[in-house]
Structure 1
Amino acid sequence: MPDRAPLDATTARWLPWVVAIAFFMQSLDGTILNTALPAMARDLAENPLRMQGVVIAYMLTVALLIPASGWIADRFGTRRVFFSAILLFSIGSLLCALSSSLNMLVGARVIQGLGGSLMLPVGRLVVLRAYPRSELVRIMGFITIPGLLGPLIGPTMGGWMVQFLTWHWIFLINLPVGLVGCYAVWKFIPDLRGSERTRFDSLGFVLFGAAMLLITIAMEGLGELQLPHLRVMLLLFAGLACLAAYWLRAGHIDNPLFSPSLFKTRTFAVGILGNLFARLGSGALPFLVPLLLQVALGYSPSEAGMSMLPLAGAAMFAKSIARPLIERLGYRIVLTGNTLALGVMLAALGLVTEHTPYPLLLVMLAIAGAINSLQFTAMNTVTLIDLDDKAASSGNSLLSVVAQLSLSLGVACAGALLGGFTAAIGNDGVETVLGAFQLTFLTVGIMAMLAAAIFLQLSPQDGRRARAVQEQHIEH
């Protein structure tokens, strides 16, 4: 079957709406949960400062399966895979709502992640194969709008649901949307497959996935899992060994999962490493802020959710000014300066106390949201901007994996730091839970600032020959 088949008028009209539903489901789920974590912890008799596993389980599952998404779609067809993705996501949502323990909830989030890992990449693949290139900018712009609305309404909706209903509804809300999505997929999504069958690098997939899993568990071992340091070191060493084995193998085989030759493009190498380290700080922001507001400052879930609105609104605004700002100043100045600003704002949130004026807090969150959004846009664009068409697909896939992995590592790091500082209350100058949060924000801010050294390796001219079409496609 050819890569692109003619679409009938009905399918051409409704297909973008179907993909947009999937984008909205995943985007909403990624932001609605954070505000509900303290209430979920109380109901499950857990410490709210040790709930990061619920977030990490989903992110890590998504990161693990993204590399296989294209091959799976080619092997089984886009309609069947997209339908299965929405169905799995919906079943995972139901199991999350039925969970009676933290372990059950984490397991259900893994099932959700199995579906989520396929929804976005396969949705983009359907659009790429179904529409001519001249239509892509318009179609991609349309289907990404719901993805931007998720972070805007998610925290507020989650806060209100938790306060006036129960936390179970943040998952149950996915079921009617998923039911509509499954019907629409079967009716409107064409069954497209790639024209060429390539052999999947299964051993590389296992090595790369094992490396991500072991390193993340090692980070979790310092926090929520509270593993002995010897076991953490062994897990970390095993993860790094798997990663080294993967890259050594990938350098001398045909069609590796991710080719090391991608890193011969300097902007890609800088962008990937910058994404990895900068997101360790920025990924902790949506996890830490709702906990700070509710656990340390005593906000209600609805108040905490409403307080996140300026952060999400400013993030959407920043996307509109990112392109002209980058064109005027260049990637090197924007990314270096913005990374330092991100670190400063994260550290500044550590100065928040119960006496901080509420309007000032909202302004701080808005500034942090705008800086964070600009960071994502600039990092992702510079990563892909100089790749040729042949390398763009593999490079985009690796970028998606690194983005998800670094976000999960950011939450794991934040959880480990928060757990460590909380355990030190009464010692080492930590007097209260608020003091533990303040030290965590300060440390995470310093970690984020260190990534500026990576972006300094860009030259002032890097990315100047970018095409506008490329910049408009890149999402975080």
Structure 2
Amino acid sequence: MSQAVERAPATPTPTTNFRTIALIIASAMFMEQLDATVLTTALPTMAREFGVTAPSMSVALTSYLLSLAVFIPASGKVADRFGARTVFRSAIVVFTLGSILCAQAHSLGMLVGARIFQGLGGAMMMPVGRLVLLRSVERRDMVSAMSWLLVPALIGPIIGPPVGGFIVTYLDWRWIFYINVPIGILGFVLVTLFIANTPGVRGERFDFPGLILSGTALGCLFFGFEMSSHDGERALTLGLLTIGTVFAAGYVAYARRVPAPILDLSLMRIPSFGLSVWGGSLTRVTQGAQPFLLPLMLQIGFGLTAAQSGTIVFATAIGSMAMKALAPRVLRRYGFRQSLIVNGIVASLGYAVCAAFRPGWPLPLMFAVLMCCGFFMSFQFTAYNTVAYDEIPHERMSAATSFYTTFQQLMLSVGICVAALVLQGSMEVRGHTTVQLADFSTAFLIVTGISLLATFWNLRFSPDAGTEISGHRMINPRSKPDA
């Protein structure tokens, strides 16, 4: 890996602080994460204006997911061809223009088309933004930079619903999309001023057959998981998941025969990357379920208003921000393997405590529990997202970021679907037609169990994994890998 770093085409200029780079990229990702969740609270209002039923507005969400599924795998190849900064900056422009088109939509069809266009920008923004960070920040600063980068990814889904509720209540729903415009303009300017362009490896032909196979597979799986939470859609869900699985199997067979597939499955044979994908995917199921379950439980089960529940849920964002200063010190002291094992268990059990929440609990106590959840889960993703690239050669970095982001987005969606399915199944087993607190408790415990399974993969990390990044070897010079 050290040789790969030496071959990097560019390093940050002396005047560019790694926090500046991380926060610029984080601002763009915050815009995207906020947009993805703030829209949900406006759907009933938009349905009335468009003259359609509220359930039919779900296509405004799924069309964006489809665009992500199709184009995220292509992001690495595009960044290699045109340069990471160029693509990242262009993605901000496309996302901002897509936001303006969404705000100008006067029918559901126009909104869906604008969301697909907006998703093209979002698909490039997530993985290419991470690639820009990896190519612009020195290895000794990587943990700190990644912890800054992950804060908006965790805050966006949490503050999205209350922000959306405020806009719909006091402004027009179109401002949900217009708020992206100043953020996008500022991001474009800052990327131009502070981030150097670092083109990757060129000369490989673009994998169009792989794009079709992977796009169809991921698109059907995204839609299938999303439709699984809708009543009366079991036949459609089964059909989509079946088609997605068939195309996924076809892509696996295809990718083994071509030299440069659009999603390089051979990356999974790299220990730190493969273990981070498996462990991180299981943990993201819980992280994806949490922003879905908590607001519903607090509003339906506790009878709180949207504003009150948003205030409580915001505690996880505070915990996430508190983590960023401590992550480098903890990883330097204990290393990635030990930190992932212990913190992964603690982070998962924190969400298990949420299963015990009841209206009689003091609000400050629930706030404190959620702060701890946000702290430990944010640390876990900082560790996963950093150690994943420890052994990736520079020439494969763009392929790794698109691969990793594809699974990240897929598993967050799976988390929402798992939570919805468990709620529905619990209601059927208990024989009631409205969701109750016991159903939420069951859902929290099941998603907690899923993230605890990541412990088996965390145990397989080498004790020396990521030592050059964390500095752990300097404190424990005699540490050796397991025999």
Question: TM-score, normalised to structure 1's length?
Answer: 0.79
Q: 2:178 corresponds to which residue?
A: 172
Q: Is contact 2:16-2:194 (8 Å) kept?
A: no
CA–CA distance in structure 2, aligned partners of residues 8 and 327 of structure 1? 26
> Which of 443, 448, 451 is residue 445 of structure 1 equivalent to?
448
CA–CA distance in structure 2, aligned partners of residues 226 and 126 of structure 1? 44
Q: 1:200 corresponds to which residue?
A: 206
- Asked if residue 315 in structure 1 is aligned to residue 317 in structure 2, the reply is no
Change (3 A) 1:44 1:452: farther
Change (3 A) 1:375 1:76: closer
Q: Is contact 1:24-1:147 (8 Å) kept?
A: no
Change (3 A) 1:105 1:464: same
> Which of 82, 94, 99 is residue 100 of structure 2 equivalent to?
94
Q: 1:473 corresponds to which residue?
A: none
Q: Is contact 1:32-1:157 (8 Å) kept?
A: no
CA–CA distance in structure 2, aligned partners of residues 188 and 409 of structure 1? 36
Q: 2:346 corresponds to which residue?
A: 341
Q: 1:466 corresponds to which residue?
A: 468
Q: 2:289 corresponds to which residue?
A: 284
Q: 2:219 corresponds to which residue?
A: 213
CA–CA distance in structure 1, aligned partners of residues 471 and 331 of structure 2? 15
Aligned residue type for 1:385? D
CA–CA distance in structure 1, aligned partners of residues 19 and 351 of structure 2? 37
SS in 2 for 1:415: helix
- Asked if residue 410 in structure 1 is aligned to residue 415 in structure 2, the reply is yes
1:118-157 aligned at under 5 Å gives the runs 118-123=124-129, 145=148, 148=151, 152=155, 154-155=159-160, 157=163
1:254-284, Cα deviation, whole Å (9 max, x unpaired):
1222333323323322211112222111122
Structure 1 window deviating more from structure 2 (203-212 vs 256-265): it is 256-265
CA–CA distance in structure 2, aligned partners of residues 49 and 55 of structure 1? 11
Change (3 A) 1:334 1:97: same
Aligned residue type for 2:118? Q
- Quote how far apart the aligned CAs of 1:415 are: 3.0
1:61-100 aligned at under 5 Å gives the runs 61-75=67-81, 81-82=87-88, 84-98=90-104
Q: Which runs of 5+ in 1 are unaligned?
A: 471-476
Aligned residue type for 2:183? V
Q: Is contact 1:281-1:448 (8 Å) kept?
A: yes
1:151-206, Cα deviation, whole Å (9 max, x unpaired):
55844644543443344423221123334555777899877755632212221222
CA–CA distance in structure 2, aligned partners of residues 48 and 291 of structure 1? 18
Change (3 A) 1:20 1:60: farther
1:130-166, Cα deviation, whole Å (9 max, x unpaired):
x6x76x8779978985873575584464454344334
Aligned residue type for 1:247? V
Q: Is contact 1:23-1:143 (8 Å) kept?
A: no
> Which of 35, 38, 43 is residue 40 of structure 1 equivalent to?
43
- Quote how far apart the aligned CAs of 1:291 are: 3.0
- Quote how far apart the aligned CAs of 1:249 are: 2.4
Q: Is contact 2:31-2:183 (8 Å) kept?
A: no
CA–CA distance in structure 1, aligned partners of residues 113 and 341 of structure 2? 39
Q: 2:478 corresponds to which residue?
A: none
Change (3 A) 1:19 1:97: farther
Q: Is contact 2:95-2:120 (8 Å) kept?
A: yes
- Quote how far apart the aligned CAs of 1:128 are: 6.9
- Quote how far apart the aligned CAs of 1:376 are: 0.7
CA–CA distance in structure 2, aligned partners of residues 123 and 329 of structure 1? 28
> Which of 87, 94, 116 is residue 110 of structure 1 equivalent to?
116
CA–CA distance in structure 2, aligned partners of residues 124 and 447 of structure 1? 26
Q: Is contact 1:158-1:305 (8 Å) kept?
A: no
Q: 1:383 corresponds to which residue?
A: 388
Change (3 A) 1:139 1:454: closer
Q: Is contact 1:284-1:407 (8 Å) kept?
A: yes
CA–CA distance in structure 2, aligned partners of residues 449 and 214 of structure 1? 28
CA–CA distance in structure 2, aligned partners of residues 372 and 56 of structure 1? 27
CA–CA distance in structure 1, aligned partners of residues 59 and 361 of structure 2? 30
SS in 2 for 1:283: helix
1:104-134, Cα deviation, whole Å (9 max, x unpaired):
65654433221112234445556777x6x76
SS in 2 for 1:320: coil
> Which of 364, 367, 370 is residue 372 of structure 2 equivalent to?
367
CA–CA distance in structure 2, aligned partners of residues 251 and 405 of structure 1? 22
> Which of 325, 332, 337 is residue 330 of structure 2 equivalent to?
325
Aligned residue type for 2:390? I
CA–CA distance in structure 2, aligned partners of residues 162 and 112 of structure 1? 21
**RMSD of the alignment, in Å?**
4.2
CA–CA distance in structure 2, aligned partners of residues 141 and 387 of structure 1? 19
What percent of counterpart residues are identical?
31
Q: Is contact 1:267-1:462 (8 Å) kept?
A: no
Q: 2:4 corresponds to which residue?
A: none
- Quote how far apart the aligned CAs of 1:373 are: 0.5
Question: TM-score, normalised to structure 2's length?
Answer: 0.78
Q: Which runs of 5+ in 2 are unaligned?
A: 1-7, 473-483
Change (3 A) 1:367 1:124: closer
CA–CA distance in structure 1, aligned partners of residues 109 and 399 of structure 2? 34
Aligned residue type for 1:238? I
SS in 2 for 1:198: coil
Q: 2:265 corresponds to which residue?
A: 260
Structure 1 window deviating more from structure 2 (217-226 vs 32-41): it is 32-41
Q: Is contact 1:96-1:105 (8 Å) kept?
A: yes
Q: 1:228 corresponds to which residue?
A: 234
- Asked if residue 301 in structure 1 is aligned to residue 306 in structure 2, the reply is yes
- Asked if residue 27 in structure 1 is aligned to residue 38 in structure 2, the reply is no
1:295-351, Cα deviation, whole Å (9 max, x unpaired):
443333333332233211111222332333334444444333333333322232222
Change (3 A) 1:432 1:63: closer
Q: 1:274 corresponds to which residue?
A: 279
- Asked if residue 395 in structure 1 is aligned to residue 395 in structure 2, the reply is no
